[in-house]
Amino acid sequence: MSIEEKIGQMLMFGFEGTQVNDETRKLIEDNHIGGLILFKNNITSSKQLVELNNQIKDINEEHHDIPIFTSVDEEGGLVSRMPPEIINLPDSKEIGDSQDVQLAYQVGEAIGERVSSFGFNMTMAPVLDINSNPSNPVIGKRAFGNNKEMVSKMGIEEMKGIQSKSIIPVVKHFPGHGDTDVDSHLGLPVVHHGLERLRQMELVPFQNAVNQKADMTMVAHIMLPEIDSEYPSSLSKNVITNILREELKFNGVVVTDDMTMGAITENYDIGEASVRAVLAGNDIVLVCHGNENKKSAVSSLTKAVKNGTISEERIDESVERILHLKEKYNLSDRTLDTVDINEINQSSEEIVDALR
């Protein structure tokens, strides 16, 4: 693989519109992008969503041998990207309150089934944050509970349910976004916990998930001055390499949270932050919005490898992990014909009924 192809595999982008535009087509064709993520504004109906994912896969297959990640934030509840015809799943808090581990697994199956039915191969779930701060503006009901035992137990069952449908789950937001009072979409949260506290609390669900063969972890944009006084967690070698890789022994794929969130854009240049993210140990840099931001990530990473700031060995480590994951899930750019909306909705109704 060329340097450009390797770097492409390490990038996941969002895009505007309800079909692949020329800019996005160029990113797939020329920049060899390894993955795309869809949001609510990309989706209008079930038929349109199937066609859009088919279009992405057709373009990728025409130009590349490596299948593309097609990703979505489908947690259920507050964070769902499904078309309007699809009945939403309950919030994770409701699942946690039920204390029914079989139900958590069933929710994972339902998430896996719905994203698979629309042609996705990855979902950015489950949330393994512990909702320990009542004034948290961004986690809340997205968490399974306010204690490490409940979050571990329910989150891991959901993760396994997703995996059972051959969908890649992404556990998030390492090292724990539960005790924050700032929304990282808007600014940079600061958490004054040291490593001992994290080991006793926030890291526990992630350690359990790693022990249960988690495939992929998303890293939050949180400032932890006791652990790294210079960089937020998503750009911190201390957090990603020293804690996640070496201490928790995670050898799967690590992805940043969206680099166009305020926590990063208010404090860093996107290109510089992308380079810093890879140096810290991330395998995939996620850039969801803005064509100039995407171009900056591509050009900055390419330049950094060519001038030796990032070694090719460092890039190869990440690319190997990414290719291994694509192979493990037997990813392909095979397209879909139709989707059975009734079947998806029936599984949602069964879960809602079980909570009554």
Q: Which two tokens stand for residue 128?
A: 């393994």
The CA-based dihedral angle spanning residues 90, 92, 96, 97, taken in that order and rounded to the nearest 10 degrees:
-50
First-to-last CA distance in the chain? 53
Residue 198 makes CB contacts below 8 A (sequence gap 6+) with: 175, 176, 224, 227, 243
Residue 328 makes CB contacts below 8 A (sequence gap 6+) with: 215
| Three-state SS at 186 | coil
Q: Which two tokens stand for residue 7?
A: 């770097």
**DSSP letters spanning 68-130:** PEEEE---BTTB----TTSPPPPPHHHHHHHT-HHHHHHHHHHHHHHHHHTT--EE---B---
Q: Is 185 noted as a catalytic residue in this protein?
A: yes
| Three-state SS at 350 | helix
- Options 97, 183, 185, 324, the catalytic residue: 185
- Options 257, 258, 283, 333, the catalytic residue: 257
Q: Is 173 noted as a catalytic residue in this protein?
A: no
Q: How many other C-beta atoms lie within 10 A of the C-beta of residue 45?
A: 12
User: How far apart are the C-alpha atoms of 269 and 13, rounded to whole Å?
Assistant: 17
Q: Which residues are catalytic?
A: 185, 257
